Amino acid sequence: MAKVYHDGDVDMQPILTKTVGIIGYGSQGHAQAQNLRDSGVKVIVSDLPDTANYKLAVEHGFKPISAAEAARQADIIQVLLPDEIQRIVYAKEIAPNLKVGKALCFSHGFNIHFKQIVPPKDVDVFMVAPKGPGHTVRSEFVSGGGVPCLFAVQQDASGKARALSMAYAKAIGGARAGILETTFAEETETDLFGEQAVLCGGVTSLIKAGFETLVAAGYQPEIAYFEVMHEMNLIVKLLVQGGLSYMWYSVSNTAEYGGLTRGDVLIDAGVRQRMKKILADIQDGSFSKEWVDEWQAGGRKFKDLEAKERAHQIEKVGKELRRLMPFIDAKEV
Ligand code: NDP
Ligand code: MG
């Protein structure tokens, strides 16, 4: 098993003498900034004036400044902007203020791995990626725990980048749970594959295919919704809590026998073959090129795809049914 480092294995000292500049006070930004400050690290933050997150930073006792100013003042520049805009803000505001001896940090490897950002050779480049959303990174820290983090060093100009990345991970609470070492390539490629093939793309397409199959066979869409979408929550929770075995143990024997005999018939060699293709497109850079080009061209295809998804019958049916269930904390976009 991969080595897991805990609080006792990691020295926080390397980061206690540094100023960390958090660029972007969003989901990760607000959590990492406050956790670092609570751990005794000097933190400055940046967000855009007159935005909700700027005001939040002020409420939290920070005095937000521009990304350029934060990059100028900080020793460690933690880029917590949306991935699509990191390249532009880096070029305009961060790069001109990157000096020898500074460190550039990320919570996701996309821009470095796919060379959207190419830092100078004389700065450290590392990653600390919490494996959970920002609000959990903060709430766990406040209650004395932490969210596991991945850490990786892409460029070690100072000779101390690895120690610094581990100290950073500890200061945001990661080592209370455990931190694991990875590379920018591994984190980026597995993250993209997971969200495309399994978590986001795979699951939604599986749900839609199941729904359409039932509705085409004459069953009521409302009933189909409950069977293929609503109950997903229960199954996923069991999987996360206790893996495959606990999920199978918790469902009925009929569900277990049916699932064990039919699941692999569905997810067959053809699906695995196409998964390999999805992975190959990520590894050779074709996916990232497609996405960056799409974004830079204005995101027309992206918006069309979103509109098409929103118009799916399961969305209309689901919206009505969720209104019957206040206990699920229903959301609308
Ligand atoms: P968010 O979109 O939540 O936050 C980004 C923040 O940056 C927003 O407050 C945004 O302001 C602000 N911003 C935009 N432009 C500028 C600018 N020019 N100067 C200063 N601030 C600016 O991002 P996330 O926290 O979700 O993601 C940050 C990074 O963390 C990404 O690399 C992501 O992949 C990674 N990550 C995210 C996780 C998550 O749970 N969300 C989990 C692990 C990693 P405004 O909103 O007003 O535009
Ligand atoms: Mg991920």
209-234 pLDDT per residue, tens: 999 999 999 999 999 999 999 999 99
pLDDT digits (tens, 9 = 90+) for 104-161: 999 999 999 999 999 999 999 999 999 999 999 999 999 999 999 999 999 999 999 9
Q: Which residues, other chains included, contact 72 with Cβ-Cβ below 8 Å and sequence gap of 6+? A: 97
**For residues 188 and 106, what is the distance between their CA atoms, to the nearest angstrom?**
11
Mean pLDDT of 29-39: 98
CA 102 to chain centre: 25
**For residues 283 and 272, what is the distance between their CA atoms, to the nearest angstrom?**
16
Residue whose C-alpha is closest to residue 169's, from 228, 114, 110, 126: 126
Q: Which ligand is nearest to the CA of 107?
A: 1
Report the pLDDT value the prediction gives residue 314, as an integer from 0 to 100. Answer: 98
**For residues 145 and 306, what is the distance between their CA atoms, to the nearest angstrom?**
37
- For residue 78, the CA-to-ligand 1 centroid distance in Å is 11
Q: Which atom of ligand 1 is closest in space to residue 26's alpha carbon?
A: 4
Q: Mutate which of 55, 89, 107, 149 to test ligand 1's pocket (most atoms within 8 Å of Cβ)? A: 107
Cα-based distances in Å from 305 to 21, 271, 302, 314: 36, 22, 5, 16
- Assess whether pLDDT exceeds 90 at residue 1: no
Per-position DSSP letters for 143-206, written without gaps between them: TT----EEEEEEE-SSS-HHHHHHHHHHHTTHHHH-EEE--HHHHHHHHHHIIIIIITHHHHHH
Mean pLDDT of 237-251: 98
Who lines ligand 1 at CB under 6 A?
23-29, 46-48, 51, 53, 67, 80-83, 85, 89, 107-108, 129-130, 133-134
- Assess whether pLDDT exceeds 90 at residue 263: yes
- For residue 137, the CA-to-ligand 1 centroid distance in Å is 14
Q: Which atom of ligand 1 is closest in space to residue 64's alpha carbon?
A: 20
- What are the structure tokens assigned to 330, written together? 């229903």
pLDDT digits (tens, 9 = 90+) for 156-183: 999 999 999 999 999 999 999 999 999 9
* Helix, strand, coil shares, percent, the chain, to 5: 60, 10, 30
Q: Is 307 exposed, middle or buried (0-12, 13-18, 19+ CB in 10 A)?
A: exposed
Catalytic residues: 108
User: Do residues 46 and 70 make contact, with C-beta atoms less than 8 angstroms apart?
Assistant: yes
Q: Which ligand is nearest to the CA of 191?
A: 2
Q: Which ligand is nearest to the CA of 94?
A: 1
Mean pLDDT of the chain, nearest integer: 97
User: Do residues 172 and 146 make contact, with C-beta atoms less than 8 angstroms apart?
Assistant: yes
